[in-house]
């Protein structure tokens, strides 16, 4: 599947064009890139079926970009892109991955200091060559070094959302193999952790060698780290590794338990076994030398006096004790969400029309969809002002009048300005079905001020939801500084709902903060923040985080039908 590869090329073209100071065009490339990376279908398949005409029909892809996609699919190259790279030979993807560095700054760094790579940049910043450049200062230099350190810390880990499509493809291939009796995800993938070191699979088969041969012969495998008779380890073209282990039936359950982890959970369960005079390993649960459980996970846990628990809970965060006491949470299910309250339409420059988004939401079995376009402060994203919101309301009413058993709500994702006020007037907010507020600028202010800023936004009676409440971007930047306990107390007092944002790089709130919100009695909403209709599918990532944070249906407002949902909004 070349969707992501192509999206990366288009993103880079956008960056190069932005470097040149060209307007509008970069935006078109970004839009096409978003489309490709979120597309459900394989772009190669689309092209095979319908040629360049079919490519042009993909929303967000125009004639000229379709041509470049065709060229890439045919030759593996795009000349236009190569020319841009020749003109400004910098590792733009690597450099713009540093928080706070956009294409324009990358250009300055290249022109003035000859910086081409992350390595060059680190050297320059460490020797204080960056601070005195025009548009930079000591603070930006320090931020750059922090950004680089952050990137290094997470090197080698991959976003769950990015690798899941490939992991699932391999799963289905294994499942379809006649020598394979059963296959399961294990490790951090099964626990749906937000970042993944490597993907683990367990298999039952009578012909392990066949399974090994099959794996190493796959076209997406670019490196074989090791291939034994029952275990192999390979790297796939996206750059991450896969471990496959074939196991005998009699110990499959204990192996699944062991290789699902986490390591910490395993240590805690092994301790329970020891206390009972038993021994637990991947080969089974043993009483002296006799195996007493091993076939299924349920059996292993039961013999330990525990209840089976969802893999997402297995982090040694109290689940072992809760299981012994029969106090495990009944976490929200992957099918429990009734609608999404955060998505962007073409009104603010998103890819899809309201109708297209509605269709996609209906396909997911939803009852409602909240359109929440950006408001005016974010000019680059074509934010809506009061007048445009009113016009959008009319369109939403019109579309609603034609819908059966489905309701579009009008929201908006407003901006929390530096002083905590909202960038849209109260009179306009009042006309919406609900309003979201989020921090989209000035992330680096001090803790007290950030806390006050968010609480002031919550005090606005028309704000119902705070989007991506802690501002983290996985592999890019940490949560901003704020007093989260204070924010939870305010959320509870003002009946403001905190978002669990399902974007693969956000997943914000994270699992631990979800747990804290639940314990504080604060309601949450699982949203995708989709900028493309196919991104509505990311909801599973947010649900996974919610489950990892022990959230139950009652904690999540959009696990409820429309009538009940509306009651969660104040007034």
* Beta-carbon contacts of residue 468 (< 8 Å; ≥ 6 apart): 438, 439, 499, 501, 503, 506, 508, 529
Contact 422, 463 (CB under 8 A): yes
Query: Is residue 201 classed as helix, strand or coil in its secondary structure?
Result: strand
Q: Does 144 bind ligand DGT (CB under 6 A)?
A: no
Of ligand DGT, Ca ion, none, which one does residue 372 interact with (CB within 5 to 8 Å by kind)?
none
Which parts of 317-452 are beta strand (E)?
Answer: 339-343, 368-371, 407-410, 413-415, 436-438
Q: Does 534 bind Ca ion (CB under 5 A)?
A: no
Q: Which of 259, 301, 434, 484 binds ligand DGT (CB under 6 A)?
A: 259
Q: With respect to ligand DGT, which residue has the nearer C-beta, 268 or 432? A: 268
Q: Which of 22, 149, 222, 267 binds ligand DGT (CB under 6 A)?
A: 267
Contact 319, 269 (CB under 8 A): no
Q: Which of 103, 208, 261, 329 binds ligand DGT (CB under 6 A)?
A: 261
Contact 559, 338 (CB under 8 A): yes
Strand order in the sheet with 339-343: 339-343, 368-371, 407-410
Q: Does 274 bind ligand DGT (CB under 6 A)?
A: no
Q: How many CB atoms lie within 10 A of CB 554?
A: 12
Which residue's beta carbon is nearest to the bound ligand DGT?
A: 261
Binding letters toward Ca ion, positions 195-234, x by CB under 5 A = ---x-x----------------------------------
Q: Which of 188, 345, 375, 415 binds ligand DGT (CB under 6 A)?
A: 188
Contact 470, 509 (CB under 8 A): yes
Q: With respect to Ca ion, which residue has the nearer C-beta, 122 or 198? A: 198
Strand partners, 184: 202
Q: With respect to ligand DGT, which residue has the nearer C-beta, 77 or 223? A: 223
Q: Does 257 bind ligand DGT (CB under 6 A)?
A: no
CB of 354 to ligand DGT, least distance (A): 39
Q: Does 158 bind ligand DGT (CB under 6 A)?
A: no
Q: With respect to ligand DGT, which residue has the nearer C-beta, 218 or 262? A: 262
Contact 372, 529 (CB under 8 A): no
Smallest Cα–Cα separation from 493: which of 459, 456, 526, 519? 459
Pick the piece of the chain touching ligand DGT (CB under 6 A) from 38-46, 161-169, 260-268, 332-340: 260-268
Chain positions 194 to 213 lying near ligand DGT, rule: CB under 6 A, are 196-198, 200
Chain positions 446 to 485 lying near Ca ion, rule: CB under 5 A, are none
CB of 477 to Ca ion, least distance (A): 25
Query: Is residue 567 classed as helix, strand or coil in its secondary structure?
Result: helix
Binding letters toward Ca ion, positions 182-201, x by CB under 5 A = -----xx---------x-x-
Contact 449, 477 (CB under 8 A): no
Of Ca ion, ligand DGT, none, which one does residue 266 interact with (CB within 5 to 8 Å by kind)?
ligand DGT
Q: Does 187 bind ligand DGT (CB under 6 A)?
A: yes
Q: With respect to ligand DGT, which residue has the nearer C-beta, 261 or 411? A: 261
Pick the piece of the chain touching Ca ion (CB under 5 A) from 79-87, 242-250, 314-322, 502-510: 242-250
Q: Does 413 bind Ca ion (CB under 5 A)?
A: no
Smallest Cα–Cα separation from 338: which of 563, 567, 560, 565? 560
Q: Does 184 bind ligand DGT (CB under 6 A)?
A: no
Q: With respect to Ca ion, which residue has the nearer C-beta, 200 or 540? A: 200
CB of 501 to ligand DGT, least distance (A): 21
Burial (CB count <10 Å: 0-12, 13-18, 19+), residue 294:
buried
Cα gap 533→38, rounded to integer Å: 8
CB of 165 to ligand DGT, least distance (A): 17
Per DSSP, the residues of 449-505 read HHHHHHHHHHHSTT--EESSTT--BTTTBPPPP--HHHHHHHHHHHTPEEEEE--TT
Return the half-sphere exposure (C-beta side, CA atoms, 13 A cut-off) of residue 21.
2
H or E element, residue 280:
strand 279-281
- Rounded-to-10 torsion of CA 82, 84, 88, 94: -70
Q: Does 319 bind ligand DGT (CB under 6 A)?
A: no
Q: Does 161 bind ligand DGT (CB under 6 A)?
A: no
Q: Does 554 bind ligand DGT (CB under 6 A)?
A: no
Pick the piece of the chain touching ligand DGT (CB under 6 A) from 74-82, 223-231, 257-265, 490-498: 257-265
# chain residues binding ligand DGT, by CB under 6 A: 13
CB of 223 to ligand DGT, least distance (A): 17
Q: With respect to ligand DGT, which residue has the nearer C-beta, 196 or 211? A: 196
Of Ca ion, ligand DGT, none, which one does residue 259 interact with (CB within 5 to 8 Å by kind)?
ligand DGT
Q: Does 253 bind ligand DGT (CB under 6 A)?
A: no
Contact 273, 286 (CB under 8 A): no
Contact 431, 462 (CB under 8 A): no
Strand partners, 247: 204
Binding stretches for Ca ion (CB under 5 A): 187-188, 198, 200, 243
Binding stretches for ligand DGT (CB under 6 A): 187-188, 196-198, 200, 258-259, 261-263, 266-267
């Amino acid at each position: 599947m070349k969707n992501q590869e192509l999206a990366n090329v288009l993103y880079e073209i956008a960056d190069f064009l932005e470097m040149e100071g060209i307007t509008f065009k970069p935006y078109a490339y970004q839009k096409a890139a978003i489309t490709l990376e979120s597309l459900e279908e394989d772009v190669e398949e689309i092209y095979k079926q319908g040629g360049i005409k079919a490519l042009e029909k993909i929303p967000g892809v125009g004639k000229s970009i379709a041509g470049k996609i065709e060229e890439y699919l045919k030759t593996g190259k795009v000349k236009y892109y190569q020319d841009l790279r020749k003109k400004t030979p910098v590792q733009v993807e690597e450099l713009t991955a540093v928080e706070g560095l956009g294409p324009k700054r990358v250009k300055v760094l290249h022109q003035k200091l000859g910086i081409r790579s992350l390595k060059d940049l680190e050297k320059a910043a460490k020797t204080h060559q960056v601070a005195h450049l025009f548009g930079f200062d000591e603070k930006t230099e320090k931020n750059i070094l922090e950004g680089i350190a952050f990137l290094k810390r997470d090197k080698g880990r991959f976003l769950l959302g990015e690798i899941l499509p490939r992991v699932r493809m391999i799963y289905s291939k294994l499942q379809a193999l006649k020598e394979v009796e059963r296959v399961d995800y294990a490790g951090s993938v099964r626990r749906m952790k937000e970042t993944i070191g490597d993907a683990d699979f367990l298999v039952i088969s009578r012909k392990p060698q066949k399974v090994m041969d099959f794996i190493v012969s796959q076209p997406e495998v670019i490196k074989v780290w090791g291939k034994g008779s029952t275990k192999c380890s390979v790297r796939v073209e996206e750059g991450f590794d896969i471990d496959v282990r074939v196991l005998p039936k009699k110990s499959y359950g204990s192996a699944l338990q062991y290789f699902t982890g986490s390591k910490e959970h395993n240590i805690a369960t092994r301790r329970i076994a020891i206390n009972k005079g038993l021994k637990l390993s991947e080969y089974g649960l043993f009483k002296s030398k006799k195996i007493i459980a091993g076939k299924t996970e349920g059996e292993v846990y039961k013999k330990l006096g525990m209840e089976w628990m969802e893999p997402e809970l297995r982090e040694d965060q109290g689940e072992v004790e809760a299981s012994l006491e029969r106090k495990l949470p009944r976490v929200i299910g992957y099918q429990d969400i009734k609608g999404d309250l955060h998505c962007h339409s073409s009104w603010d420059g998103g890819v899809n029309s309201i109708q297209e988004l509605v269709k996609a939401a209906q396909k997911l079995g939803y009852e409602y969809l909240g359109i929440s376009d950006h408001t005016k402060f974010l000019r680059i994203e074509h934010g809506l002002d009061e007048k445009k919101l009113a016009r959008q309301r009319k369109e939403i009413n019109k579309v609603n009048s034609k819908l059966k058993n489905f309701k579009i709500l009008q929201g908006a994702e407003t901006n929390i300005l530096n002083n905590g006020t909202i960038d849209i007037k109260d009179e306009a907010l009042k006309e919406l079905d609900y309003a979201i507020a989020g921090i989209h600028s000035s992330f680096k202010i001090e803790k007290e001020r950030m806390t006050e800023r968010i609480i002031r936004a919550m005090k606005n009676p028309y704000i119902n939801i705070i989007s991506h409440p802690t501002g983290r971007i996985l592999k890019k930047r940490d949560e901003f500084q704020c007093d989260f306990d204070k924010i939870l107390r305010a959320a509870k007092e003002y009946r403001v709902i905190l978002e669990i944002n399902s974007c693969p790089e956000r997943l914000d709130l994270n699992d631990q903060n979800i747990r804290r919100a639940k314990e504080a009695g604060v309601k949450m909403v699982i949203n995708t923040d989709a900028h493309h209709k196919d991104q509505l599918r990311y909801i599973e990532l947010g649900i996974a985080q919610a489950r990892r944070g022990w959230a139950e249906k009652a904690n999540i407002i959009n696990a409820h039908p429309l009538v009940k949902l509306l009651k969660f909004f104040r007034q």
